[in-house]
Structure 1
Amino acid sequence: MNEIVGYKRPAPGTQPNYLHPPYQSSIRRAPGKPLILLPHTLSEVTGPLFGHELVGPTDHDLTKQHAGEPIGERMILSGRVLDENGRPVPRTLIELWQANSTGRYRHAIDQHDAPLDPNFTGYGRTVTDDEGRYRFVTVKPGAYPWRNHHNAWRPQHIHLSLFGPSFMTRLVTQMYFQGDPLLPLDPIFNCVTDQRARDSMIATFDLETTVPEFALGYRWDIVLRGRDATPFEQK
């Protein structure tokens, strides 16, 4: 008989809290009663893959998806997806979405009066290789106001979503940039109370992946589980 081993629960403080009052939306979203932890079954670790076969040759390069090039500072984001033992996680579908260089999303509900870029949709995807490596080419997103509190601005950030061996194993996280002065003021970034875990959401400048006269490189590894797991948004 096959034994299903449950996932190890993350250490306290290393993942976002359901309720973080400075982040006002969490007050309504947070559950009012203790959660019931259900045992994991095969549906959490196996099942149909989601969209892996639909990734196109330019899906990872957000600067080549339209007739012209987007406006903004080009950047390359790359790294590895790893498990809790530092082993690569191959064939993982990664989706990326972000604001454009002026801090606006191409979405109907985004009413920020910053200009849209006709050559930038803000969405890309790729699949990790056999060594767990991924790579995106994009433009650096801008900060934007979000009305959570007086004079509230979100730091520059990129959203990423990872799909594992089943479409039920989706994880969503955000990546930030070193030295952003808005990080200490951002309730979403700071709802992860563990300093080490919070720092793991910040990408580092990487000269090795920087392309001369084209784009700066940033490295960001994503750890799925264990003590060094990347903080993910709670479902």
Structure 2
Amino acid sequence: NSLAQFVFGFTESGRFGAARQTKNSLVINMSWGVGLGMVLDDKIFRGHNGFAGEFSHISLFANGRLCACGKQGCLETEASGWALTRMVKEKILEGSSSILVEKMNGKGEIQMEDVIKAANNDDVLAIELIAKIGDNIGRGIALLINIFNPELVILGGSLAQTGEYIRLPIKSAINKYSLSLVNNDTQLKLSQLGKRAGIIGACLLVRKRLLSLS
């Protein structure tokens, strides 16, 4: 499917970016959803039928919130771009101040990119909620670290544009929810490829497949 292709393309770009010196790494694509790519023993892991890495749909929260997949309490319901925009709207309706209030009052739809821009312009509400999203993503990553013991976790996708605003809460959650003997030498880095990662990775995948056919 197209999402899986994007995530694996994103992972392939990671192998030639921040992860090029590692054999075991996880690539987290933080956007409207939460994608996962895995490089295990220097090979991209796709699973039995290519659907490995459905990270968004690990049930982590007893929130009763229905996910798009039909299950309840999935990571995506509390740790995605969809969750972020929902949280912003809820807080504004409760009376929180933000530079995003004007857009919402003008009946405009608040987008993930609006919240990212607000955070990078020091909007307190946006920063607080991105930190909350980071903590929730970090809980999920902590589980992955306990299972896979990676050398490196790469954070990419749209939400990675908020930099340390999201990386630090993720790091804190990893330290809190995973075993120290497993996580103590796991690096956590922001992707340096930005929005280009998926495109670059897809090109690398095509090149790799063409070479394998020749």
> Does TM, scored on the shorter chain, surpass 0.5?
no
TM-score by length of 2: 0.26
Where is the strand percentage greater, Structure 1 or Structure 2?
1
> TM-score, normalised on structure 1?
0.24
- The structure with the largest alpha-carbon Rg is 1
Structure number with the higher helix fraction is: 2
